[in-house]
Structures are given as C-alpha cells and as structure tokens.
Structure 1
Amino acid sequence: MKKFLIPALGAACAGAVGYAVWPVTPEASAPQEGAAFVAVTLPDTLSQQGELGKNAFDAVCAACHGENAAGKMGFGPPLVHKLYEPSHHGDMAFLVAAQQGVRAHHWKFGNMPPQPQLTQAEVKTIIAYVRELQRANGID
C-alpha cells in the first residue's frame, strides 16, 4: 500500500503546518491536480466589502488559489489556512503580495507574480473576503 504525504490542518498539529499520511490502495490515488487543498466552510453571509472581494477574487485569484480560497493542488496555496492568519500575514502582506508579487517561502508552488490589474481598493475588498472566510473557519 502506497502512502502520500499531503499538507493538513488539525488540532494534532496545534495550528502549525502538519502532514497527514493517507494510505492509498490500488483503486485510490493521490489528490488530483486542480483539486481543492482544504475544505472551506462558507460564512452564512458576506459583508458588502466581502461580496465585492469575492467577485474580484473569483476573477483574478481563484485560478491559482482555488474556489473560496481553498487552494488548488498544483497551482497555489489555500488562503484559508492558519499560515495566513492576521497575526502572521497581516493585511499589508496581502496588499504587497498583490502589488509586487512574493517569493515562495511556505509552499512549493513557486513565486506569485504581481497582479497589476488589481487596484489597491480591489485588493482591500479581496482581503475583506479572505478574512471573512478565515473567521468562518476558526482562523482569527
């Protein structure tokens, strides 16, 4: 039986990045490229800023960071993740990443290119959306 290590969250890793060992039987396989990286619980409602941010996120960010910021295997990390909580990656880090790009440092997806098509106001709405998703998933 093959086993694959995939990044995981959970109480056992006390909020740190951990790895879960998933046994793979001949009829099972590794996560498919493009699959969501984490399960995301959606908030019951989004603020007006959050709604605007969701629209901008879906248009620009979801191609790499996945639907509802759940990440996308083979493309980009989940933003609904303890690594991106406000005390570790503040709002300014998201703003700078969108404006200037960012070198890969937590994940092995490669560098994120700048997103010059986004205005600073649009990035702020995206941040509001991501923070609302994070709060709905216990990430404060």
Structure 2
Amino acid sequence: MNKTIAMAAVILAAGVGGWFVMVGDGPADAPTATRTGAAIVDVVVPASFSDNAQIGQRAYQANCAKCHGANAAGQDGVAPPLVHKIYEPGHHGDESFQRAAALGVRAHHWPFGDMAPVEGLNRADVTMIVAYVRELQRANGIN
C-alpha cells in the first residue's frame, strides 16, 4: 500500500512538473525558468523601433509587462511570452490580440490560466502594442 501511494506521488509530481515545462524549437524558444516570474524566453531587442512600435512599447510596459514580462519574454508561472512562434502572425493574427485585450481569452496553449480583459485599452492602443510585439518577433526570427 505504501509503495502504491509513493509511486502515485512520484507520478503526480512528474506530471505537474511536466505541465510547467514548455520547450519549443524556434529561435526565441527556451526552456522555462525555474523561478516564478523569470523570463521564459530570451528576447533579442532591435536597435530601434518604428514610431508606432515606440508608442506600443510604452503602452505595453504600462498594461502588459506586469504579466507578459519585459520585452514580451513571458514570466514563468505568470503569463506566456508573446515573442514565440505560437503568436506568429499566421497563427495569431493582429485581431487575436485585439480580442484578447478586449474580451480576455481562455487558456489554450499554455498552463497559465485564462487571461482577463485588459481595462482601459482601446483598439488604437492595442494596434500600437501589436506593432511593438511584431517588431520584437521579427527581430527574433518570428515572421
């Protein structure tokens, strides 16, 4: 009986641990960090941003960075990186970002739980944030 309980505990711990490890195969992918809040991916930041992306960067820092981390690198145990192949334009188009900010989104790619709507952002704000994220993505080989 004790062996059965011990084995079940090991299997449960391995399953839960595996749930939080996400390893990709793109240039911006890296194993998750082991500390809550640590960046999930390493992000190459371009030397400069377009005017729209600069506006978006400020809006991102004010509204998104607390969860999605600096430079959209994600935060372990908090929220996913936006500089990731999952969010490439062909998979999550710009309207996906608009809908996520306005309506929230149910968790479907990552184990962080649902995202609540972001209060105080309008479509123009999100358009600028998307410009910033897309320029970060391109700098990291995500097109």
Structure 2 length normalisation: TM-score?
A: 0.81
Amino acid at match of 1:94: F
1:10 and 2:13 equivalent? no
What is the alpha-carbon distance in structure 1 between the residues aligned to residue 117 and residue 50 of structure 2?
26
What is the alpha-carbon distance in structure 2 between the residues aligned to residue 50 and residue 104 of structure 1?
27
More strand per residue: 1 or 2?
Answer: 1
What is the alpha-carbon distance in structure 1 between the residues aligned to residue 34 and residue 102 of structure 2?
31
Tell me the residue number matched to 2:74. Answer: 71
Of 61, 65, 83, which aligns to 2:64? 61
1:106 and 2:109 equivalent? yes
1:39 and 2:42 equivalent? yes
Give the CA deviation at 1:108: 0.8
Matched residue of 1:7: which SS? coil
The structure whose Rg is larger is: 2
What is the alpha-carbon distance in structure 2 between the residues aligned to residue 10 and residue 101 of structure 1?
27
Give the CA deviation at 1:7: 1.4
Tell me the residue number matched to 1:134. Answer: 137
Q: Indicate the percent of aligned positions where both proteins have the same amino acid.
A: 51
**Number of residue pairs matched?**
125
What is the alpha-carbon distance in structure 2 between the residues aligned to residue 65 and residue 129 of structure 1?
13
Give the CA deviation at 1:107: 0.5
What is the alpha-carbon distance in structure 2 between the residues aligned to residue 116 and residue 33 of structure 1?
25
Q: Could you give the per-residue CA deviations for residues 52-97 of structure 1, whole angstroms, max 9, x where no partner exists?
A: 0000000010011000000001110000000000000000000010
Of 81, 85, 97, which aligns to 1:82? 85
Give the CA deviation at 1:116: 2.5
Structure 1 length normalisation: TM-score?
A: 0.82
More helix per residue: 1 or 2?
Answer: 2
What is the alpha-carbon distance in structure 1 between the residues aligned to residue 22 and residue 103 of structure 2?
27
Matched residue of 1:44: which SS? coil
Amino acid at match of 1:8: V
Tell me the residue number matched to 1:27. Answer: none
What is the alpha-carbon distance in structure 1 between the residues aligned to residue 24 and residue 140 of structure 2?
11
What is the alpha-carbon distance in structure 2 between the residues aligned to residue 110 and residue 104 of structure 1?
5
What is the alpha-carbon distance in structure 1 between the residues aligned to residue 23 and residue 45 of structure 2?
19
**Any runs of at least 4 consecutive aligned residues in structure 1 with deviations exceeding 2 A, and if so which?**
3-6, 8-11
Give the CA deviation at 1:43: 0.8
